[in-house]
Amino acid sequence: MKMSTPRPQQPNDRDRVTLLLVVTLAAATVLIHLLIGNRYGFHRDELATLDDARHLAWGYVAYPPVTPFFGWISLHLFGTSLAGFRFFAALAGAVAMVLAGLIARELGGNRAAQLLAACATAPFTLAAGSLMQYVSFDYVAWVAVAYFVTRLCRSHDPRGWLPIGAAIGFGMMSKYSMPFLVAGIGVGVVFSPLRAHLRSRWLYLGAALALLIFLPNFLWQWQHDFISLDFLRHIHARDIRIGRTSSFLPDQLLLTLAAFPLALAGMCFCFLADNGRFRILGWMYLVPLALFLLGKGRGYYLAPAYPMLYAAGAVGGAAWLAQSRPWKRITLGALAFLAVSANIVLTSAFFLPLAPLHSRWWEKAVKFNGDLREEIGWPELVENVARIRDSLPPGERERVAILAGNYGEAGALNLYGPRYGLPPVICPVNSFWARGYGDPPPEILIVLGASREDLEPRFETCELVGHITNREGIANEETTDHPDIFLCRRPRAPWREIWPKVRRFG
pLDDT at 363: 95
Q: List 463's β-bridge partners, or say none.
A: 487
pLDDT at 294: 96
Look up residue 504 and give its DSSP letter.
B
Q: How far is CA 429 from CA 47, 178, 231, in A?
A: 13, 25, 10
Give 305-363 as a DSSP string: GHHHHHHHHHHHHHHHHTTS-HHHHHHHHHHHHHHHHHHHHHHHHHHSTTSPTTSHHHH
Decide: helix, strand or coil at residue 374.
helix
pLDDT at 334: 87
Interatomic CA distance for residues 262 and 321, integer angstroms: 13
pLDDT at 325: 75
CB count in 10 Å sphere of residue 28: 12
N-term to C-term CA, the chain = 51
Contact 172, 283 (CB under 8 A): no
Contact 217, 173 (CB under 8 A): yes
Interatomic CA distance for residues 31 and 90, integer angstroms: 9
pLDDT at 1: 39
Contact 117, 104 (CB under 8 A): yes
Interatomic CA distance for residues 86 and 377, integer angstroms: 19
Phi, psi (degrees; rounded to nearest 5) at 136: -65, -40
pLDDT at 3: 56
Interatomic CA distance for residues 467 and 462, integer angstroms: 14
The DSSP H or E segment spanning 491 is strand 484-491
Tell me the CB-side half-sphere exposure of residue 235, using CA atoms within 13 A: 15
Contact 104, 315 (CB under 8 A): yes
The contacts of residue 6 (CB under 8 Å, 6+ apart) are: 108, 109, 110, 315, 318, 319
pLDDT at 10: 56
Interatomic CA distance for residues 28 and 121, integer angstroms: 13
Q: How far is CA 331 from CA 117, 321, 324, in A?
A: 18, 10, 11
Contact 268, 3 (CB under 8 A): yes
pLDDT at 228: 97
The DSSP H or E segment spanning 490 is strand 484-491
Interatomic CA distance for residues 164 and 152, integer angstroms: 9
pLDDT at 274: 85
User: Which residues in 99-161 belong to E strands, given as ranges?
Assistant: none
Question: In Å, how far from its chain's centre is CA 448?
Answer: 27
Amino acid at the residue 286: L
Amino acid at the residue 331: T
Pairing of strands 444-448, 459-467: unpaired
pLDDT per residue of the chain (506 residues) written in tens, 0 to 9: 345 555 555 566 678 999 999 999 999 999 999 999 899 999 999 999 999 999 999 999 999 999 999 999 999 999 999 999 999 999 999 999 999 999 999 999 999 999 999 999 999 999 999 999 999 999 999 999 999 999 999 999 999 999 999 999 999 999 999 999 999 999 999 999 999 999 999 999 999 999 999 999 999 999 999 999 999 999 999 999 999 999 999 999 999 999 999 999 999 999 998 888 999 999 999 999 999 999 999 999 999 999 999 999 999 988 887 777 777 778 888 888 899 999 999 999 999 999 999 999 999 999 999 999 999 999 999 999 999 999 999 888 889 999 999 999 999 999 999 999 999 999 999 999 999 999 899 999 999 999 999 999 999 999 999 999 999 999 999 999 999 999 999 999 999 999 999 999 98
pLDDT at 4: 56
Decide: helix, strand or coil at residue 498.
helix
Decide: helix, strand or coil at residue 459.
strand
